[in-house]
Structure 1
Amino acid sequence: MVKNKLSLSFVFRCALWIALSYSFVGLASFYEKNKIILHFAYALNTFLTANLLISIGRFLIVSLYNRKHANHDVRGNFVLGISRVATVLNAGMIVITLMVALGIDPKEFITSMTIVAMAIAVIFREYITNMISGLLVMFSDQFSIGDHIKISNYQGKIVDITLANIVVRDEDDDVVLIPNNLIFTSTMVNKSSQKSNKLIVKFELPLEKPLHVQSVENHLRPILKINKNIIWDDLFKIKVAEIGKDFVKYKIELNTISSSNKLHYQIQNEILNEILLFRTRED
């Protein structure tokens, strides 16, 4: 569950907002003589008012969400989506604040820029749709940060979801930025959506040097049997999954005590290392 606490910065913003609001009464004569400072003070007050309302709204919504799902294993990105929406709203308020500070009426400016805004929307259509897709992704429960996904030619662990991209760290520890639009136009496999205690270890060897299955089973059996993280089954077998033109694919099915991805990777690495050691000795 995501922690949701009001920070010291929120307290500071509240204090600054109160001070500014009071100054419009206590320093009215000063502001009357310094119109430029008045514009900046009013602009800052406008931003702080909106910012505080957004922060309070986010805090209340997230608190209610956390309370509602306190006893459930939530996989969605609701909190992340709310945070991104709050960021977008704050960014919009910064633009409005700058207009107020410069003495520009936001309503008149937006009205006069309608045609230009439509042109901008057409030019940046891909980015806008990508951003909307990002928000849809954040509020969906199909996958979340930490899941292992495969989409198009990319696969790896989701480390972040932004308004522009899904950030994935692949098996080579490279960071791959996948555009949000790709999620809705390509087939995606979420390998973490259905967590299971079942672990399938797959590996591939050249056809010219096939594995002596029985010998490897005899090698692995005592090692896996004493592993406390594995629920041992005497029917343990190494199966041939596929035979290609120049390769043979094998798989090992095991039951573990947990569905933890970290535990599964640990066991998988141990098994593959033992197979490599066996092959080295055999050669």
Structure 2
Amino acid sequence: MKNQTTISEFILLGFSYGLQVQTLLFLVFLITYMVTIIENAIIIFVVNRNHHLHKPMYYFLGNLSFLEIWYISVTLPRLLFGFWSQSKSISFSSCMTQLYFFISLMCTECVLLAVMAYDRYLAVCHPLRYAAIMTHKLCFQLSVLSWAGGFSISLVKVSFISRLTFCGPQVINHFFCDISPVLNLSCTDMSLAETVDFALALLILLVPLLIIVFSYCCIVSTVLCMPSAQGRRKAFSTCTSHFTVVIVFFSATLFMYARPRRIHPFNLNKIVSIFYAVFTPALNPLIYCLRNKEVKKVLRKIIRNWLGQKRN
């Protein structure tokens, strides 16, 4: 160890293809980034400006859209800059900062999706008590719990990782600083950091997932007991958007983070990471807008009013 030099920067290998392929990828990711920002910004605007959507479900949806804007902004701008400038180096402090905020937002989304499942559980299973239980104060407290919990767990994870010594090689076979590729560059014993990371990953993934599963088991049981077919369809329609987002998000994150660190086919990691770090934030607003009648109704109303003002 005395003869080894601690490195102060990493090389993000990213997507090392020919110039034409990199140009195509740059355009694809740039369009995806712009579309994601616009989609989520529209949802936040629509929820805030329309009093018909001032309900707990849409309050949490606004939180999710706000999170998705920052979630994709942690990774994509750095990737786009790398395509544009052909610069692949990133300092140690920048790498740890990117890692911290990416994991924080991911953990926050796990908790927030569980909170949204609890909200749907109360709405379907306890409709008469829903307004009394899910007050503005409780919505705010659950939102703060999601953000504080996600950022606190990430702080513990990254604090253990940042204490490791990295002596080289300094090449990260990824397009952003993620836990697994960074850990595998350490030249010191990382068993404690791996154990802490794996335990906290299971905690932040499995506890919200269990809450979601329990909530939907109760929802399905309640809906199947409803005498009216129309009532069953209406109850299911309020949950399908959220349930679709849950499946997409947790299937990718469980694959990436709830497994031993040594199992890491890097090319497969990058493909899965593109899906949940880049395309999922773009898909979520579409899922909610296409499946939610209230959001579609408000959007159509806003577009009609805007077109009417343009004609006048």
TM-score norm. by structure 1 comes to 0.32
Richer in strand (by share): 1
Larger Rg: 1
TM-score norm. by structure 2 comes to 0.30
Of structures 1 and 2, the one scoring higher in RCO (CA 8 A, sep 6+) is: 2
Richer in helix (by share): 2
